[in-house]
Amino acid sequence: MLSLLMVTLFLLSSCFSAGGGSPLSEGLWLLKTEFALHLYRSAASERNGTNFVISPASVSLSLEILQFGARGNTGWELASALGYSVQDPRVREFLHAVYTALHNSSQGIGMELACTLFMQTGTPLSPCFVEQVSWWTNSSLAPANFREPNSTATEVSRGSPRQSTGKGKPSPQSGEAGTVSSWLSIVSTMTFQSTWQRRFSSMASQTMPFTCAHGLVLQVPTMHLVAEVSYGQFQDAAGHRVDALELLYLGSTASLFLMLPQDKNTPLDCIEPHLTARAIRLWATRLKRTRVDVFLPRFRIQISLILKSILRSWGIADLFDPLKANLKGISGQDGFYVSEATHKAKMELSEEGTRSSAATAVLLLRRSRTPVFKADRPFIFLLREHSTGFVFNIGRVSNPLD
């Protein structure tokens, strides 16, 4: 893992040396996509054969905020996991511009990327740290009473800050340094509800068979669309053939990038290990606009998980150790460490006024000479910012009814 991290850091350094906005954009895109794939594999491996979604954008946002306060080896571990550091002004300015643009362009499409750092009430805070968090995208500091675990757990699980850094910023104040006030808890959230640019026809929706990973065949509500979309057929490094499809959401800000094994007997766990940032980049740029018959099951996935074990396996150990964590940038004092890191992600795909119409869909499938993308078996999806490829969510659908 360390060698991979050194390679990614070298890649980013090379991009900076090349100069210009394009190399920096390309380098960070590759690093963030590799981070997304690595996070997906690490978190999904324990949920084999089940629906899964995680927001790498939200998780990386959490680690970026912690970088503002991290020093020494703690800061190095965070930078190594991400492949970059927001302490570098070139990275900081670029990401801030990207996040600001994403936040402004996402208004009205049901997307929210947020991060809240819960801190013991009375914790002294560095004005510089407060300013940096306030400046970062949709992030906030919120007070919590860790002396009352039940009430604090409720606050943290909701991920709803009572006090944001935008208004009513917590100001530096005296506290009990080195005691329970040293606890921190960080919560990242990503929610998305789709609004298609080209809506699926409610009249063409029907119940269709879906073959799960272990051969179980279910009848699932399936949406249907015949439209000109971005479509392509590719081959991964192991020779598996993959159908790729990109569907735009309203406003063309976000898109859903779908990957479906062409061979019905090829499980996703044969495809997933061979997905790389460069492969996805190549496939996305080689998609062709063509008229496609699209069959896509409706699904809703909601995940809540603890990130601590995953981040520790990546080498982020000091952050959670009360004796080793170096977060002096938060208040200028020793003793701060992260007690928990929780992540929530939710994604829903649907169309309004769903109604079954099997005969119409079957006729379209039989008569159409256009390519067919029929997601009647497990598939992988990436929810991305359309123009940059910035990954909001990554996940898989193994059973649309779960």
Q: Each residue's pLDDT tens digit in the chain (402 positions)?
A: 433 343 334 334 444 333 344 577 788 888 999 999 999 999 988 787 789 988 888 888 889 988 999 999 999 999 999 999 999 998 988 888 877 777 666 555 666 677 788 877 877 889 998 888 888 877 788 887 776 655 544 444 454 433 333 333 333 333 333 343 356 777 777 776 667 888 887 767 789 999 998 889 999 999 988 899 999 999 999 999 999 999 988 777 788 999 999 999 999 989 999 999 999 999 999 999 999 999 999 888 888 888 888 999 999 999 888 889 898 998 887 777 887 787 878 777 776 322 222 212 222 233 346 789 999 999 999 998 877 778 888 999 999 998
402 occurs within a structural domain: no
- Whether 115 and 65 have beta carbons less than 8 Å apart is answered as yes
19 occurs within a structural domain: yes
Angle between helices 56-69 and 127-135 (to 10 degrees): 160
240 occurs within a structural domain: yes
Looking at the structure, tell me whether residues 318 and 358 fall in a common domain.
Answer: no
Helix, strand, coil content of the chain in percent (nearest 5) = 40, 30, 30
Looking at the structure, tell me whether residues 152 and 186 fall in a common domain.
Answer: yes
SS3 string, 40-99, reads HHHHHHHHCCCCEEECHHHHHHHHHHHHHHCCHHHHHHHHHHHCCCCCCHHHHHHHHHHH
159 occurs within a structural domain: yes
Looking at the structure, tell me whether residues 343 and 382 fall in a common domain.
Answer: no
Residue entry with tokens 């938060």: 330
Beta strands at 217-235 and 241-248: parallel, antiparallel or unpaired: antiparallel
Q: Which residues of 23-48 are buried (b: 16+ CB within 10 A; e: fewer)?
A: ebebbbbbbbbbbbbbbbebbbeeee
Question: Where are the strands (E) in 162-240, listed by range?
Answer: 183-193, 206-211, 217-235
- Whether 378 and 224 have beta carbons less than 8 Å apart is answered as no
Looking at the structure, tell me whether residues 105 and 21 fall in a common domain.
Answer: yes
> Could you tell me the CATH number of the domain that includes residue 43?
3.30.497.10
91 occurs within a structural domain: yes
314 occurs within a structural domain: yes
Number of domains in the chain: 2
What does the block give as tokens for 70?
């991290």
- Whether 255 and 372 have beta carbons less than 8 Å apart is answered as no
> Could you tell me the CATH number of the domain that includes residue 238?
2.30.39.10
Q: Which amino acid is at 145?
A: N
Looking at the structure, tell me whether residues 249 and 386 fall in a common domain.
Answer: yes
Name the residue range of residue 24's domain. Answer: 2-194+302-347
* Largest Cα span, the chain: 74
Q: Which residues of 356-385 are buried (b: 16+ CB within 10 A; e: fewer)?
A: beeeebeebeeeeebbebebbbbbbbbbbb
H-type alpha helices, 222-273:
268-271
Looking at the structure, tell me whether residues 140 and 244 fall in a common domain.
Answer: no
Looking at the structure, tell me whether residues 128 and 237 fall in a common domain.
Answer: no
> What gap in Å lies between CA 187 and CA 21, rounded to an integer?
32
Looking at the structure, tell me whether residues 113 and 141 fall in a common domain.
Answer: yes
The pTM of the full predicted model, rounded to 2 decimals, is 0.81
180 occurs within a structural domain: yes
Looking at the structure, tell me whether residues 68 and 179 fall in a common domain.
Answer: yes
Looking at the structure, tell me whether residues 235 and 262 fall in a common domain.
Answer: yes
Looking at the structure, tell me whether residues 228 and 263 fall in a common domain.
Answer: yes
Looking at the structure, tell me whether residues 154 and 212 fall in a common domain.
Answer: no
281 occurs within a structural domain: yes
